């Protein structure tokens, strides 16, 4: 009963987040997705008179993004980062926006299997390449369709490897890559190769423990 309630709460929170993201995005679709970027508008700022007509000719780009095995055709302002495209155009809000300047790692995703920062990657640069986000991880192993967690996701739960959870999607994506890169020989190496993912709650010891747990399991799955 308690479990059911909590899952209802979770799903309604998710629905709420997605709905508000969509309603916030709708007025600017096809206009300037870059407006959503930080360094951009604050609530009280006057809206600059930027319309498609005044932008350079190729400022709105038709792109095909391949995310978690699905293709998405989108029209995006050239300024749109992969992170904003994922979160706002494709409604995949799992990748998080922390600093938006490449300093925190919260936006870490895989492109063609390698970890990168989605906040410093233009959506146009990801065109046609395989993007994997936290939402695509559970099925990445080629297991039966469903909600079977990736060993790294399970290891983060088992080891209590987060408190607030905001950095967690980035931590997990980075951790998966850390294992596939073979950088888990010891705790020092794990820490060095996870240093691009900051955790303000300082769950670091548990994150290291989670990676230690998942690493051999991932080898088995491959």
Partner 1 sequence: MKPFAYTAAADVPSAVNAALRSAPPRQDGVDDGALTLAPVQFLGGGTTLIDLMKLDVMRPTTLVDISRLDEPGLRSVQMSAEGLRIGALATMRQVADDAAVRRYYPVLSQSLWLAASQQIRNMAFVGGNVLQRTRCSYFRDTSWPCNKREPGSGCSALEGVNRWHAVLGTSEQCIASYPGDWATALVALDATVETVGPGGLRRFRFAELHRLPGSTPHIETQLQPGELITSFNVPAGPYTRRSLYLKVRDRASYEFALASAAVALQMDGATVREVRIGLGGPVAVPWRAREAEALLTGKVLNEASATEAARAAFAGARTREHNAFRVPLSQQTLVRALLQAQTMEMAA
| CB closer to partner 1 out of 67 and 194 | 194
Contacts with 4 (C-beta within 8 Å, 6 or more apart), sequence order = none
| CB closer to partner 1 out of 158 and 191 | 191
Which residues share a beta bridge with 75?
62
**Does position 192 bind partner 1 by CB under 8 A?**
yes
Task: Answer whether 67's CB lies under 8 Å from 86's CB.
Answer: yes
Write down the least CB distance from residue 132 to partner 1, Å.
Answer: 13
Judged by CB under 8 A, which of 74, 124, 130, 138 binds partner 1?
Answer: 124
| CB closer to partner 1 out of 156 and 193 | 193
| CB closer to partner 1 out of 108 and 168 | 108
Helix (H) or strand (E) holding 208: helix 204-221
Judged by CB under 8 A, which of 21, 28, 50, 149 binds partner 1?
Answer: 50
Site residues for partner 1, 132-171, by CB under 8 A, read: none
Q: Computed over its alpha carbons, how large is the radius of gyration of the chain?
A: 18
Task: Estimate the crossing angle of helix 151-158 against helix 168-180, to 10 degrees.
Answer: 120
Burial 130-168 (b: 16+ CB within 10 A, else e): ebbbbbbbbbbeeeeeeeeebbbbbbbeebebbeeebbb
**Does position 190 bind partner 1 by CB under 8 A?**
no
**Does position 56 bind partner 1 by CB under 8 A?**
yes
Q: Which two tokens stand for residue 136?
A: 């695509």
Per-residue contact track with partner 1, 68 to 97, x per CB under 8 A?
---------xxx-x----------------
Q: Are strands 114-117 and 70-77 parallel, antiparallel or unpaired?
A: unpaired
**Does position 55 bind partner 1 by CB under 8 A?**
yes
**Does position 174 bind partner 1 by CB under 8 A?**
yes
Phi then psi dihedrals of residue 109, to 5 deg: -135, 170
Judged by CB under 8 A, which of 10, 14, 15, 101 binds partner 1?
Answer: 101
- Work out the number of other CB atoms within 10 angstroms of the CB of residue 217: 15
Judged by CB under 8 A, which of 172, 193, 203, 209 binds partner 1?
Answer: 193
Applying CB under 8 A, which residues contact partner 1?
A: 32, 34, 37-40, 50, 54-59, 61, 77-79, 81, 100-102, 105, 108, 114-117, 120-122, 124-125, 174, 177-178, 181, 183, 191-193, 195-197
């Amino acid at each position: 009963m308690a479990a059911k309630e909590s899952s209802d709460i979770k799903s309604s929170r998710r629905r709420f987040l997605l709905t508000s993201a969509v309603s916030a995005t709708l007025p600017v679709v096809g206009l300037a997705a870059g407006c959503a970027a930080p360094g951009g508008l604050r609530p009280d700022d006057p809206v600059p008179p930027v319309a498609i007509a005044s932008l350079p000719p190729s400022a709105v780009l038709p792109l095909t993004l391949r995310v978690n095995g699905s293709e998405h055709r989108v029209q995006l302002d050239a300024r749109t980062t992969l992170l904003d495209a994922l979160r706002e155009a494709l409604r995949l809000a799992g990748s998080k926006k922390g600093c938006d300047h490449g300093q925190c790692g919260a936006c870490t995703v895989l492109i063609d299997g390698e970890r990168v920062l989605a906040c410093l990657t233009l959506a146009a640069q990801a065109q046609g390449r395989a993007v994997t986000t936290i939402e695509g991880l559970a099925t990445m192993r080629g297991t039966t369709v469903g909600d079977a967690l990736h060993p790294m996701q399970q290891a983060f739960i088992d080891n209590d490897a987060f408190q607030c959870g905001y950095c967690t999607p980035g931590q997990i994506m980075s951790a998966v890559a850390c294992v596939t890169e073979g950088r888990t020989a010891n705790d020092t190496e794990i820490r060095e190769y996870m240093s691009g993912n900051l955790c303000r709650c300082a769950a670091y010891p548990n994150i290291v423990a989670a990676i230690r747990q998942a690493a051999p399991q991932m080898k088995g799955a491959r």
